[in-house]
Structure 1
Amino acid sequence: MKKFIELFKNRSFAKLFFANFTSQMGSVIGMTAFTFYLLDRFSNQPGYASAAEMMYSLPTLAIFFIVGVVADRMDRQKVAYYCDTISIFLTAALFVAIYIGWMPLVFAVLFLRSGVRKFFAPAESAIMQGILAKDDYATAAGLNQMVSSIFMLFGSGLGIIAYKLTGVYGAVIIDAISFFISAILIKANRFEEKVRMPNGKHTWKDLNISLVFKDFKSGAGYILNHKLLRSLIIGFIVFGVANGGFSVIPIFILKYKLAPNTYEEYSVLIGIIFGCGVLIGSVISSILVQKYKFHHLIIIGLLISGGFVALSGFATSIPAFLSLTFISALALPVINVSIGGWMPSIVDPKLMGRVQGWIDPLMMSSQTITLAFIGVAFQKFLSIEALFCIVGFALMLPAIYYMIVLPRLVKGSTVIQEKSPAM
């Protein structure tokens, strides 16, 4: 707790943290409320809700090659600020589109707004790296993990409450207000030029196709040549596999094995149990990263989480399944916080945006492949127990790899920069 208090004494961090918090809160509330609105208004067309979800994920594939380049070449503070301000106007357009009731326009606005939001995280993460001391990275990662856990636990509930009390229009307005507050907090900060523009001043005219692909290629080359970073990136690919599996297999085991007639009610309970596990695990992780080496925690977290995921597939009762799920969720933040605290200390600040820009598409690709695999294989080739074993093994396999390579790489990694490409 003392480390958290000391962290918030850094006013730049405090403003940036709360900007990210309000931005996330608005997005979660707005998305949840809009999903329930679609299910209520178009109850006979559930495909609309799925289409809305796709509008939040598809932009990643459209712009992933430029997101990191923008965060590294442009003023990072302005990028984050304009993400929020443009989102305000697009949220107003969403309000109008919903009022008109023309769904193609609604989905088009959702797609554009989601695309704009993709530029926020790399810019914000790169700024965060520049304003914190190396010893504070792990504490900040733990704090961010706690916030994510809170939204995981209460985000959907807040969205439902907002929808019930204010309707979809009120939820959209809350969305816009959250972006407005975030923009003010980012604008109020005074960052040094080397934090905002570590690669020097550039204009939008400089971002021609040649430069974008050159920088995108250099980001990929940096990851591939940086052995320790490359190994850590594998962890994010695994998270995509885990996210894809976790999004459906708990419901599957309830519907097809443990509670066929009451799986909807128990699915809510599982969400609460899982969220509580992640939240408590976030607090524990923030303490552990101050005392133990990152790579040891990552390996242990992967083994515990993967092992208990595999075991939970063989549960024969709801209490047993909930207990195993809680333990697996408890270990996940250990991995997240360790990687999140470690990565800023080994990545060259000039390339942080490009490194961050690679994470989303890698995670989404592995998540999409996992979901497609489950959709094809479940009940045709694989049982529910086999699915849990696959997801669990997907988490444990990198642990084995890390046990072999990380100790050696950690000893050889003494500087933040390794074979950085020319700027």
Structure 2
Amino acid sequence: MNSRSSLLKQEKGYRQLFLAGLVNGLGDRFSQVASLSLILSLTGSGMAVGITFAVRLIPNLVFGPLGGMLADRFSRKKIMVLSDLIRAFVALSFLFVHQASDIWIVYVSSFFLSAGEAIYAPTRTSSIPILVSKERLLSVNGLEERMVGLVLILGSITGGVVAAFVGTTFSFIVNAVSFVLSAFLLGAIVFPESHFGDTGQQHSTKKRSSQLSKTWKEWLTVWRSSRFVRAMMMGSMMWPIGYGVFNILLSVYAVQVYEQGDLGIGLMYGSLGFGMVIGSSVTARFMDNMKIAVVTGFILEGVLHMGMSQVPNFGLAIILLLCSALCSSVANACNHTLLMQAVPGRFQGRFFGLMSAMYNTIMGVTMLSAGFMLEIMSPRMLGLLGGLVIMIVSVGMTFIVLTDKSHANHE
């Protein structure tokens, strides 16, 4: 813990970004738990819940690449602050939902909150290598995984307790306040004057055709830069198939397979968070073997998901879930670090925007498909297939990644 505190003290710009992400994530978890509770209490409809999830995933396809494009052309700080302030007002719109006929407000608001997140996410990711020194990049990406784990643990559990005992109204207000606080924290960040996101005037004077041509050439340059980059881009189109199945099955395992009810759901999400926190604490040990850590971590994650789908008792499933989250945390931190080193800084917004759009869109389609597949096969069989997909894709990537002789040491 001391090393993490020291890291945040040394990287002052990232410290504000980290705290803003933590506050933002906790508020979002509060809102998610409360909105699902509100939908079910007013409509009792599983279809309404499905529509809400679908509405939250649709914006990624359009607004993810848009957010990346904006991040490469304008001030990243202004984009993130504006995104948070707009979402603060949108978050309050849930307060006007009082009966089943008002449920359309949930759909519309969920769409705009997701659109804001799709713009915010690649802008935030592409800001990290600007604010952080290269030698600390892996440690910072490990800290990012820890933040996600903490949000899962604290946000899901606390959000559920607050929604149950205080009411959903308070949860929606907390979410709105979290956006305002996040905007305040982001506004205090001092970006280097030379960072590529502050060149809006330069880009706005160029002809559209010239800009499109330049963007296409940059994509080709990134694609050809290394086998690792190509492998991760292809993986981002295939791994979400397995992860989409896993996201759907987490609650199904707890309630239907192991019959642990709502407590089981909380324990599963809690173990997922704890695994990510533990994994984030060991990422620095893989500084000299990041590529090996990426492929090994994802392969083990797939194997562990397969095992979790077949174990006979809930306790063992929890242990395997924690271990899979640990492997995923290490692999993701190393993967993000290598990509940040390999992709040119002036292009990182668009790169991470497209990666995010592909990943979330494919995972959304898979989640929808998995819901239908549960009608024709057991959760255990579907989980086995999902883990098998993750493992096979990871094994396929291993040869490509480990035979890549290029070094991710670009600007």
Superposition TM-score, scaled by structure 1 size? 0.86
Structure 1's 75 and 305: CA in aligned 2 closer, same or farther, altered over 3 A?
Answer: same
Deviation at 1:218, TM superposition (A): 5.1
- What SS does structure 1 have at the residue aligned with 2:410? coil
Deviation at 1:201, TM superposition (A): 3.2
Deviation at 1:182, TM superposition (A): 1.1
Q: Counterpart of 2:16?
A: 15
Structure 1's 223 and 388: CA in aligned 2 closer, same or farther, altered over 3 A?
Answer: farther
Q: Counterpart of 1:389?
A: 384
Query: Gaps (5+ residues) in structure 2?
Result: none
Deviation at 1:345, TM superposition (A): 1.2
The amino acid of 1:268's aligned partner reads G
- What SS does structure 1 have at the residue aligned with 2:310? coil
Deviation at 1:35, TM superposition (A): 1.4
The amino acid of 1:175's aligned partner reads N
Q: Counterpart of 1:277?
A: 275
- What SS does structure 1 have at the residue aligned with 2:201? coil
Q: Give the distance between the partners of 1:12 and 1:218, measured in 2 at CA.
A: 32
> 2:407 matched to 1:413?
yes
Structure 1's 321 and 190: CA in aligned 2 closer, same or farther, altered over 3 A?
Answer: closer
Q: Give the distance between the partners of 2:218 and 2:367, measured in 1 at CA.
A: 28
Structure 1's 392 and 7: CA in aligned 2 closer, same or farther, altered over 3 A?
Answer: same
Match of 1:330 among 326, 329, 344: 326
Query: What is the percent sequence identity of the aligned residues?
Result: 18
Q: Counterpart of 1:420?
A: none
> 2:269 matched to 1:268?
no
Structure 1's 162 and 73: CA in aligned 2 closer, same or farther, altered over 3 A?
Answer: same
Between 348-357 and 152-161, the greater mean CA deviation after superposition: 152-161
Q: Counterpart of 1:295?
A: 291
Q: Is the 8 A contact 1:77 1:187 kept in 2?
A: yes
Q: Counterpart of 1:225?
A: 224
User: What does the per-residue CA deviation read over 1:313-342, in whole Å, with 9 as the maximum and x for residues that have no partner?
Assistant: 332333333333332222111211111222
Deviation at 1:236, TM superposition (A): 3.3
Q: Give the distance between the partners of 1:206 and 1:35, measured in 2 at CA.
A: 46
Q: CA RMSD in A?
A: 3.0
Between 85-94 and 139-148, the greater mean CA deviation after superposition: 85-94
The amino acid of 1:412's aligned partner reads S
Deviation at 1:161, TM superposition (A): 2.7
Q: Give the distance between the partners of 1:408 and 1:316, measured in 2 at CA.
A: 39
Q: Give the distance between the partners of 1:388 and 1:51, measured in 2 at CA.
A: 23
The amino acid of 1:275's aligned partner reads G
Q: Is the 8 A contact 1:127 1:196 kept in 2?
A: no
Between 16-25 and 399-408, the greater mean CA deviation after superposition: 399-408
Q: Is the 8 A contact 1:139 1:341 kept in 2?
A: no
Between 91-100 and 101-110, the greater mean CA deviation after superposition: 91-100
Query: Gaps (5+ residues) in structure 1?
Result: 418-423
Superposition TM-score, scaled by structure 2 size? 0.88
Q: List structure 1 runs of 4+ shifted beyond 6 angstroms.
A: 203-209
Q: Counterpart of 2:33?
A: 32
Report matched runs for 1:22-421 at 5 Å.
22-43=23-44, 45-96=45-96, 102-195=102-195, 197=197, 200-202=199-201, 217=216, 220-227=219-226, 228-253=228-253, 258-259=257-258, 262=260, 264-284=262-282, 286-290=283-287, 292-378=288-374, 380=376, 384-409=379-404, 411-413=405-407, 415-416=409-410
